[in-house]
C-alpha cells in the first residue's frame, strides 16, 4: 500500500513538471530537434489611429450681409448676400430692372433663402406684388438657396439714365463677386433678372462660364431687350453651346414689343423655354398673381431642372 502511494506521488510530480515545462516553452521558446531553443516573438498590437473628425461646416446666421465689390473699370457697387440655411448652398444671382434697384429683389431673395425672414411688414408694396410675399408659394422646408443681389451703377432708387456698357461690366463683376462668396456651391449657380437684369442674367451667366466652366447652369430672363450692348439671341446661342447646355427661360408679354421681339428671335433649342403672356406687362410686372402663367411656379420649375437636378 505504501509503495502504491509512493508511485502515485511520483506520477503526480511528473505531471506537474510536464505542465510547467510546457508553459515555459510557450513563453521562453520552443525546442527544435537539435535541442536549440527557438525564440517566439510576442505579437505586437499596433496602436489604432484616432478617427478623423470631419470639419464642421459653418453656417452663416445673418439674414443678409451688405458688401461692396469693384467693376473691371474700378467703380464700386453695392451688393447684398442672403446666406442659405445650408452650406455649401446653390446660389441664385438676381438682377433688378431699370425702374428700381436691388431692394426690388429683396422679398424674392428671402423667399428663396427660405429662413423665415421678410421686410413686408415695413414695406409699402402697393402696386408691387413682387414685394408682397403673402401670395408666394411655400418652398419645401429642406430647400434653401443662397442669393446675391446688387444695384446697377446709377440706379439707387431707380436708374437715372441708360448706361448700357457700364451695366454689362456691372453684371460681369457681380457674378465674379458672387462666385467667391463664403458658403456657396460654385458648381450650382443660376442667374435671374428682369428687364436690364434679364439681359444681365444671361450675359453674366455666359461670362462666368467662360472663366469657370460648368459653374452657371441656368439663366432666367423676365423681359430681356438687348439692353446691355450684347444681342440676347447671340448670348442664348453661346449658352446653349456649352457642354452641358445652360438652361434658359425667356418670359415676355405679347404687347411688350422689344421683349417680344427679343424672346421670339431666340433659336429653338431643347435647353431653352420661351413663354408668352397676354398684355403688355414688362419685367417684374410679370411677377404677380392671376396672370395666364404663374411666374413663381416657373421659377421653381427652372430651379428644379438646373441646380436641383445636379
Residues 6+ apart with CB under 8 A from 223: 97, 194, 195, 198, 251, 252, 253, 256, 259, 282, 283, 286
What are the boundaries of each domain within the chain?
65-305
pLDDT at position 198 is 98
Residues 6 or more apart in contact with residue 69 via CB below 8 angstroms: 76, 77, 79, 150, 173, 174, 176, 177
Q: What pLDDT score does 125 carry?
A: 84
Phi, psi of 217 (to 5 degrees): -100, -10
Q: Give the tens place of pLDDT for each residue, 258-290.
A: 999 999 999 999 999 999 999 999 999 999 999
Q: In whole angstroms, what is the distance from residue 214 CA to residue 189 CA?
A: 9
Give the right CATH number for 65-305 from 3.40.50.1820, 3.40.50.150, 3.40.50.970, 1.10.620.20. Answer: 3.40.50.1820
Tell me, what's the pLDDT at 205? 98
Pick the range with the lowest mean pLDDT from 91-100, 113-122, 170-179: 113-122
- State yes or no: pLDDT of 225 exceeds 90: yes
pLDDT over threshold 50, residue 195: yes
Q: How confident is the model at residue 21, as a pLDDT?
A: 44
Mean of pLDDT values over 97-123? 95
The reported pLDDT for the residue numbered 121 is 85
- Residue 8's pLDDT is what? 40
Mean pLDDT of 242-269: 97
Tens-place pLDDT, residues 17-44:
444 444 444 444 444 444 444 444 445 5
Q: Give backbone dihedrals phi and psi of 132, rounded to 5 degrees, phi first.
A: -110, 100
Cell of 18: 510536464
Q: Worst-scoring range by mean pLDDT, 38-47, 169-178, 222-231?
A: 38-47
CA dist 262 and 224 (Å) reads 7
Interatomic CA distance for residues 303 and 63, integer angstroms? 22
Q: Which of 120, 100, 122 lies closest to 111 in space, CA to CA? A: 120
User: Which residues lie below 8 Å from residue 21, measured CB to CB, with a gap of 6+?
Assistant: none
Least confident span in 9-13, 126-130, 147-151: 9-13
The neighbouring-strand residues paired with 152 are none
Helix 164-179 vs helix 196-211: crossing angle, to nearest 10 = 50
Mean pLDDT of the chain: 87
Specify the pairing of strand 65-70 against strand 30-31.
Answer: unpaired
Q: For the residues 159-184, what does the mean pLDDT come to?
A: 98
Residue 176: how many CA atoms within 13 Å on its side-chain side? 15
- Range scoring the smallest mean pLDDT among 50-59, 186-195, 246-255, 267-276: 50-59
Cell 436641383 locates to 308
Distance between CA atoms of residues 202 and 237, nearest Å: 11
Q: Is the pLDDT assigned to residue 94 strictly greater than 50?
A: yes
Q: Peptide bond preceding 279: is omega within 30 degrees of 0, i.e. cis? A: no
Place of cell 461646416: 57
The Cα 16–Cα 11 span in angstroms is 9
Amino acid at each position: 500500500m505504501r509503495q502504491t502511494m509512493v508511485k502515485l506521488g511520483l506520477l503526480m510530480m511528473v505531471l506537474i513538471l510536464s505542465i510547467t515545462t510546457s508553459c515555459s516553452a510557450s513563453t521562453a521558446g520552443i525546442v527544435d530537434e537539435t535541442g536549440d531553443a527557438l525564440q517566439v516573438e510576442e505579437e505586437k498590437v499596433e496602436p489604432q489611429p484616432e478617427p478623423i473628425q470631419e470639419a464642421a461646416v459653418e453656417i452663416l446666421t445673418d439674414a443678409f450681409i451688405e458688401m461692396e465689390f469693384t467693376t473691371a473699370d474700378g467703380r464700386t457697387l453695392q451688393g447684398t448676400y442672403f446666406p442659405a440655411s445650408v452650406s455649401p448652398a446653390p446660389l441664385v444671382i438676381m438682377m433688378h430692372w431699370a425702374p428700381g434697384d436691388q431692394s426690388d429683389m429683396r422679398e424674392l431673395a428671402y423667399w428663396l433663402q427660405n429662413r423665415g425672414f421678410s421686410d413686408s411688414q415695413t414695406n409699402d408694396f402697393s402696386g408691387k406684388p413682387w414685394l408682397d410675399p403673402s401670395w408666394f408659394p411655400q418652398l419645401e422646408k429642406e430647400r434653401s438657396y443662397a442669393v446675391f443681389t446688387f444695384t446697377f451703377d446709377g440706379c439707387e432708387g431707380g436708374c437715372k439714365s441708360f448706361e448700357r456698357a457700364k451695366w454689362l461690366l456691372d453684371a460681369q463683376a457681380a457674378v465674379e463677386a458672387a462666385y467667391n462668396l463664403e458658403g456657396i456651391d460654385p458648381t450650382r449657380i443660376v442667374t435671374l433678372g428682369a428687364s436690364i437684369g434679364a439681359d444681365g442674367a444671361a450675359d453674366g451667366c455666359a461670362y462666368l462660364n467662360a472663366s469657370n466652366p460648368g459653374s452657371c447652369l441656368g439663366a432666367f430672363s423676365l423681359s430681356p431687350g438687348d439692353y446691355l450692348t450684347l444681342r440676347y439671341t447671340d448670348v442664348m446661342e453661346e449658352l446653349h453651346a456649352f457642354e452641358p447646355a445652360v438652361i434658359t427661360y425667356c418670359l415676355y408679354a405679347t404687347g411688350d414689343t422689344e421683349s417680344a421681339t427679343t424672346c421670339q428671335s431666340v433659336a429653338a433649342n431643347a435647353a431653352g423655354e420661351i413663354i408668352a403672356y397676354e398684355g403688355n406687362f414688362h419685367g417684374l410686372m410679370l411677377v404677380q398673381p392671376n396672370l395666364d402663367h404663374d411666374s413663381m411656379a416657373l421659377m421653381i420649375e427652372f430651379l428644379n431642372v438646373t441646380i436641383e437636378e445636379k
